[in-house]
Structure 1
Amino acid sequence: MIDMTALPQQCREQVKEELLFSMKADLNLQGRIAEHWLAITYEELIVWDEKHTPIKRLPIETIQEARAVSNVGSGMLIAETKEGPVVAARYTSSLSSGMGFAAKLISALVQGEELPVLSKSDMPRYCSNCHSPLEEGTQFCEVCMSKKYAMLRMLGYLKPYKLKAVLAACLLILSTLVELIPPYLTKIIIDDVLQPQQGGAIFLLVIAAWAATLVVMSAMQALRGYIGVAISSKLMGDIRKDVYESLMRLSLAFFDRRQTSQFISRVNNDAESMRQFMTDGVIYIAGHLLRFIFILVIIFSMDWKLTLLTLLPIPLLVFLSFTIWPKVGRRLYQQWRAIFRLNMQVGDTLQGIRVIKAFGKEKLELERYQTANEEVVRHDMRSEKMWQFFFPAFGLITSLGTVVVWYLGGHQVLNSELQLGVLLAFVAYLGMLFGPIQWLSQMISWTSRAMTSAHRIFEIMDTPADVADHPQAVKPDQIKGGVVLRNVTYGYEKHHPVLKNINLDVKAGEMIGLVGHSGAGKSTFINLLCRFYDADEGEILIDGVPIRHIEQTELRRQIGVVLQETFLFDGTIAENIAYSKPDATPEEIMRAAKIANAHDFIVRLPDGYDTRVGERGHKLSGGEKQRVAIARAVIHDPRILILDEATASVDTETERQIQEALANLVKGRTTFAIAHRLSTLRNADRLVVLERGKMVELGTHEQLLAKADGVYRKLVDAQMEMSKIRGVGS
């Protein structure tokens, strides 16, 4: 029995059969935070609510299939029954792996297969420090992420610029000291200079000292600002570079679980927030802290009794500031999540704008956007209302302190117990003292925003790659192209394998055609061969070396790919063709284009090979983009060639010409080809027929066609029948 979460005794007593699996879900069926439990036996699936009352009992015999569906931040365990799908449990994404195993177990029971064994990857992952569940695919714990750790790690970016930072710190100290001189000069002017018995020479000397102070202070501030700009620009570049490098290091599975538009905000906005805090915020906070200390020393020396009375409100201000800090952090995080969802909505809408226009769903998308926008407005108002309360409260407390000083100090001046100049200087210093304290809440907000941004940045940096190079990975000079698959099983969701127990031995230089219905696993086969993902079970070998033991960069350097979804960068045609070989000569580029049958249409364009293709190549037709992509693979000169529906977007005549060109290209290369027209694969050395993730047939075109009841024969017959129908229709 696998008990991933201790099943409460009241629930356990209600289980009559042998318990195979139990687990706690952290959301109720409405998606709200609550504790539910589920248990699986040989006979049924049982779900209890937080009161230990069974709310669902599904006999296994009524279930056709079970699956764990991942959403943004959450998921559902769904049981497909004869009456329709039933949501058995909801949970946050931190429990996705465990719920995926539950779905795999239920499906195995339904199909009468061998029950799966719980692996380490199926176990929910928890923070080693606070034991809170971790989001799938990350090491980042939002609960116990140390603010001190994040702060020190942020400041670590200043190390390469420590000399400039030290100089800026010295200038900050000096400018803070100089800034405190004018109020003291005011005291001297009123109490010592503006007296009938004093001469004008002293007055001019003090005024000159005041003017010199202002000049020196401005000069130091300008120099400090110049140094700050030099540091901040480089800091911003360093942070962006590290985030971008981390994104490039991560595997496709990481991006499959997330919408890519969110990373634009992390690379730019979050990095900018960190930069502002380190270059402006740290200086601002440190400057005010130094000013606070220096002013305390000065006013204590002027009148210690009045100073103590003045400082009475400060403990209250500090208490209020640190009381609201946790609330600020929570509300800022909620505000960020709301903005994140709004940005996702915008990203989805813009990417799918053609579909929206085609179905006339602008109003529906506007309503969805308005819902997300209202949530952002609500969180904005919550945050701003909090500030609108605390700012006046802070201002009132500090103003009352100034009133007390004027009242008590005024009495002392009238009674000749205190000089007027001392009182005016004291009030001036008091304004400089209360200024930083009044803005303490703003500093807390600034720091909280920076910490939130730092957490999101460090989440990316600390997330391990799903597909990583082996410590002893080899770097072969040139591979021959022999490929072996041994018992390979893989699923994008661990509980739902797309490929199952694939065994195949491909000789170097052999051409393999991959055939099967949509969803049979053909593209997944290609993804594993390129090592975009790692097989869950079994292994792939190239020239006898496990693919995990070959450096990914070197592996992909010797694999040429033309994917089903053609992507071109926003550059010229020549730049796109030469993407895999930036130093290619114009002659090499044109040769590759001719092999791909792209040269003729390129030279007819106004700018020829210098024609810009636009974002995602939208200025070219589907067939033209496909031929440019083929030319890109040709110039790569790979040892293994992968053609994933390489001729899907061209007409019959162009397809024939490309096939002739590819016939010369594939010589001496191991080739894996997927084609929607089965006739184009008749020249393949062997055909692999996939059905529901399993390899059901293997042989030449003639061998498979000879099987009257074979899967391949049925696919060919179906295509021929469809061609006849189209011919009649036209």
Structure 2
Amino acid sequence: MSGNASNPTSSFAALARLLRYARGYRRQIITATTCSIINKLFDIAPEILIGVAIDVVVNQEASFVAGLGFESAQEQITILAVMTFFIWAGESLFEYLFQILWRNLAQRLQADLRQDAYEHAQRLDMSFFESRSSGQLVATMNDDVNQLERFLDGGANAMIQVAVSIVAVGAVFFILSPLVAMLAFTPIPLIVWGAFYFQRKAGPLYADVREKVGDLSSRLANNIGGIATIKSFTAETREAERLKASSEAYVEANQKAIRISSAFIPVIRMAVLAGFLATFTVGGMMALEGTLNVGAYGVLVFLTQRLLWPLTGMAEVIDLFERAMASTRRILDLLAEPVYVHDQEGTALELPVKGDVRFEGVSFHYPSSGAGIRDIDLHIPAGNTLALVGATGSGKSTLIKLMLRFYDPSHGRILIDGLPIRSASLASLRGAIGLVSQDVYLFEGTIRDNLVYGQPDATDEQIIDAAKTAEAWSFIEALPEGLDTPVGERGVRLSGGQRQRLSLARALLKDPPILVLDEATSAVDNETEAAIQRSLKRIGHDRTVIMIAHRLSTIVDADSIAVVEQGKIIESGSHDQLLAEQGAYFAQWQVQTGRA
């Protein structure tokens, strides 16, 4: 997601992409830009008034203001004072307005970018998340968006006002003295060249800085999530060194960028000095010779600094701009990630869903590993229980992922109640399936929050009934705060068995016509396994159940058992039928019962 940082025009390409994204904010951008321009024009005006005032003092009745109908010097000074008041008031007003407008735009745009990036990420296929670091994604949605906000808060206005200064001051210069204007503007090509030179040098460096931020975020997230493993292996020192290495890499990347951006100001300062000296010397000589009005000379001297000195601030502006565009590329690259599993919104499974499931010639392979399934044909009649058994990596969980449309098969189709699932909306498809995984994920919050995750409007009676069915109510009731007990991040305050029972209760509260148990008893103790088995006998009636299991003792009552090996179904039938065939299932049964 880093974009093409080596392309010299990549920052401006990123800006163009950002403007296309922000086209809904066109009115706010135009209004804020207009206020920035007007503010800068008011900001330049006092220097012009100073020159006019000098002209009044020197020439009095022959001054420029006298030609406007104000004959006495006192009247001229008075009118200049009034104009100065309104100019300062106008400058203050429009500074307030542009700051409000740019900052509000920054807040609104960063909030929308983060929301859009998150919502798009939720629509992306599971393969995207399996090939990306969660730390990089968090850094993109949080730190990168904040970097763009910082640029819009001040950098955008600064860039606009520098451009306005060059145009407006340049116009005044050429009106007063084309010769002095040419001399004063001589350093500007050097300054502009320097800006682009430093931009080309800084662009790739800041892209690298953003990558290092993502790596650092990923390292922190992984270490905090795996703190128990770190402690159990007494690896605190080693992990601290790894984090230090990531942190130092980030510091080093930043230092390279800082060395480039810091060199900009001294170069520009000397260019500013050359322009100022040219105006000061040549303009002074012309004033002494009488070919240039003394007041005009004063205006030129003051405006030279007003023209050139703000350009030294371009270093900071370019610094902000490059950081922001590096971040923008990452954000917009995330938004541009293609979605391959497309939602058929508006087409729902016919209610009530009976739960008849068919796999017809289904094949699928993971692009990264080549593993997958081949030519799978399965039929699970509504209300029946199918058990899938086989070695790790044989393709059992892949069948479940395809049924949930985490992926789409390369060949064949899957049907529920006779409707191909590709023709159904994802909401109706996944709403009809309850998943209880081996890797239970509980969200930070209370037990109640987690149980009602799939059924937010569930009553306490429904919650308790589901918890009792999953044999979770006994331990919930024994907790001091009951359903309102906090579970901690990922449920760390609960035991593995308790988390597994809550996961089953959460799926049951959803009351799905199809229940999928993906090795739901593989990581629990015998007591919890027995409790879950008792639950399954109660909940399996009038519901289609698909179980993935390594412990064959948990599936002997299944209506049908399919043995999966290297992506293909090699045997299927009931427990007794498969034992009678004395094939792969029989051999595995013999091993697990100690008869091998």
Amino acid at match of 1:716: W
Residue number in structure 2 paired with 1:239: 113
Q: Matches of 1:653 and 1:271 in 2, distance apart?
A: 48
Secondary structure of the equivalent of 1:519? coil
Amino acid at match of 1:503: D
Residue number in structure 2 paired with 1:664: 538
Residue number in structure 1 paired with 2:361: 487
Residue number in structure 2 paired with 1:713: 586
Amino acid at match of 1:702: D
Secondary structure of the equivalent of 1:582? coil
Q: How does 1:185-200 map to 2 (within 5 A)?
A: 185-193=49-57
Q: Matches of 2:47 and 2:491 in 1, distance apart?
A: 66
Q: CA deviation at 1:442?
A: 4.1
Cα deviation code 1:293-318 (max 9, x no counterpart): 11111122222211111111222222
Cα deviation code 1:569-607 (max 9, x no counterpart): 111111111111111112111111111111221122222
Secondary structure of the equivalent of 2:354? coil
* 1:292–1:436 Cα contact (<8 Å) kept: no
Q: CA deviation at 1:685?
A: 0.6
CA 1:170–1:497 in 2, change beyond 3 Å: closer, same or farther?
closer
Q: How does 1:311-326 map to 2 (within 5 A)?
A: 311-326=185-200
Larger strand percent = 1
Q: How does 1:440-589 map to 2 (within 5 A)?
A: 440-469=314-343, 475-493=349-367, 496-589=370-463
* 1:193–1:202 Cα contact (<8 Å) kept: no
Q: Matches of 2:266 and 2:448 in 1, distance apart?
A: 62
Q: Matches of 1:602 and 1:416 in 2, distance apart?
A: 96
Residue number in structure 2 paired with 1:407: 281
Residue number in structure 2 paired with 1:347: 221
Q: CA deviation at 1:329?
A: 1.8
Q: Matches of 1:654 and 1:209 in 2, distance apart?
A: 85
Q: TM-score, normalised by structure 1?
A: 0.74
Q: Matches of 1:495 and 1:199 in 2, distance apart?
A: 88
Q: CA deviation at 1:244?
A: 1.2
Of 43, 47, 50, 1:179 maps to 43
CA 1:300–1:544 in 2, change beyond 3 Å: closer, same or farther?
same
Q: CA deviation at 1:342?
A: 3.1
Q: CA deviation at 1:629?
A: 0.8
Q: CA deviation at 1:563?
A: 0.7
Residue number in structure 2 paired with 1:154: 18
Residue number in structure 2 paired with 1:384: 258
Secondary structure of the equivalent of 1:695? strand
Q: Matches of 1:366 and 1:163 in 2, distance apart?
A: 49
Q: CA deviation at 1:433?
A: 0.9
Amino acid at match of 1:715: Q
Cα deviation code 1:208-248 (max 9, x no counterpart): 43233222211221123223333332222221121111101
CA 1:227–1:383 in 2, change beyond 3 Å: closer, same or farther?
closer
Of 154, 170, 173, 2:34 maps to 170
User: Which moved further from structure 2: 520-529 or 647-656?
Assistant: 647-656
Q: CA deviation at 1:278?
A: 4.7
Cα deviation code 1:99-140 (max 9, x no counterpart): xxxxxxxxxxxxxxxxxxxxxxxxxxxxxxxxxxxx9xx9x7
Q: CA deviation at 1:148?
A: 5.6
CA 1:312–1:458 in 2, change beyond 3 Å: closer, same or farther?
same
User: Alignment identity in percent?
Assistant: 33
Residue number in structure 1 paired with 2:126: 252
* 2:11–2:326 Cα contact (<8 Å) kept: no
Residue number in structure 2 paired with 1:261: 135
Larger helix percent = 2
* 2:348–2:429 Cα contact (<8 Å) kept: no
Secondary structure of the equivalent of 2:263? helix
User: Which moved further from structure 2: 281-290 or 648-657?
Assistant: 648-657
Amino acid at match of 1:569: F
Residue number in structure 1 paired with 2:498: 624
Q: CA deviation at 1:412?
A: 3.8
Amino acid at match of 1:357: K
Q: CA deviation at 1:200?
A: 5.2
CA 1:173–1:202 in 2, change beyond 3 Å: closer, same or farther?
same
* 2:139–2:213 Cα contact (<8 Å) kept: no
Q: How does 1:90-105 map to 2 (within 5 A)?
A: none
Q: Matches of 1:158 and 1:499 in 2, distance apart?
A: 44
* 1:541–1:547 Cα contact (<8 Å) kept: yes
CA 1:301–1:242 in 2, change beyond 3 Å: closer, same or farther?
same
User: Which moved further from structure 2: 557-566 or 148-157?
Assistant: 148-157
User: Which moved further from structure 2: 641-650 or 368-377?
Assistant: 368-377
Residue number in structure 2 paired with 1:220: 94
Residue number in structure 2 paired with 1:593: 467
Secondary structure of the equivalent of 2:375? strand
Of 423, 430, 440, 2:297 maps to 423
Q: CA deviation at 1:656?
A: 2.5
Q: CA deviation at 1:384?
A: 1.7
Q: Matches of 1:393 and 1:557 in 2, distance apart?
A: 64
Q: Matches of 2:567 and 2:334 in 1, distance apart?
A: 33
Asked whether 1:683 is paired with 2:565, we answer no
Q: Matches of 1:325 and 1:346 in 2, distance apart?
A: 31
Q: Matches of 1:633 and 1:571 in 2, distance apart?
A: 17
Q: Matches of 1:459 and 1:158 in 2, distance apart?
A: 15
* 1:154–1:278 Cα contact (<8 Å) kept: no
Q: Matches of 1:697 and 1:378 in 2, distance apart?
A: 58
* 1:489–1:497 Cα contact (<8 Å) kept: no
Q: CA deviation at 1:441?
A: 4.4
* 1:473–1:548 Cα contact (<8 Å) kept: no
Residue number in structure 1 paired with 2:568: 694
CA 1:328–1:434 in 2, change beyond 3 Å: closer, same or farther?
same
Q: CA deviation at 1:419?
A: 4.9
Q: CA deviation at 1:333?
A: 1.9
* 2:187–2:272 Cα contact (<8 Å) kept: yes
Q: Matches of 1:624 and 1:413 in 2, distance apart?
A: 91
* 1:176–1:291 Cα contact (<8 Å) kept: yes
Aligned length: 585
Question: Can you give the 5+ residue segments of structure 1 that lack an aligned partner in the other structure?
Answer: 1-134, 725-730
Q: CA deviation at 1:414?
A: 4.5
Q: Matches of 2:472 and 2:50 in 1, distance apart?
A: 82
Q: How does 1:634-653 map to 2 (within 5 A)?
A: 634-653=508-527
CA 1:374–1:174 in 2, change beyond 3 Å: closer, same or farther?
closer
* 2:415–2:421 Cα contact (<8 Å) kept: yes
Q: CA deviation at 1:276?
A: 4.1
Q: How does 1:98-177 map to 2 (within 5 A)?
A: 150-177=14-41
CA 1:703–1:570 in 2, change beyond 3 Å: closer, same or farther?
same
Cα deviation code 1:597-644 (max 9, x no counterpart): 112211222221111211111111111111111111011111111011
Secondary structure of the equivalent of 2:405? coil
Amino acid at match of 1:703: Q
Residue number in structure 1 paired with 2:66: none
CA 1:703–1:158 in 2, change beyond 3 Å: closer, same or farther?
closer
CA 1:578–1:233 in 2, change beyond 3 Å: closer, same or farther?
same
Q: Matches of 2:199 and 2:12 in 1, distance apart?
A: 14
Q: TM-score, normalised by structure 2?
A: 0.90
Alignment RMSD: 2.8
Moved beyond 6 Å, runs of 4+: 140-146, 194-198
Residue number in structure 1 paired with 2:103: 229
Amino acid at match of 1:178: F
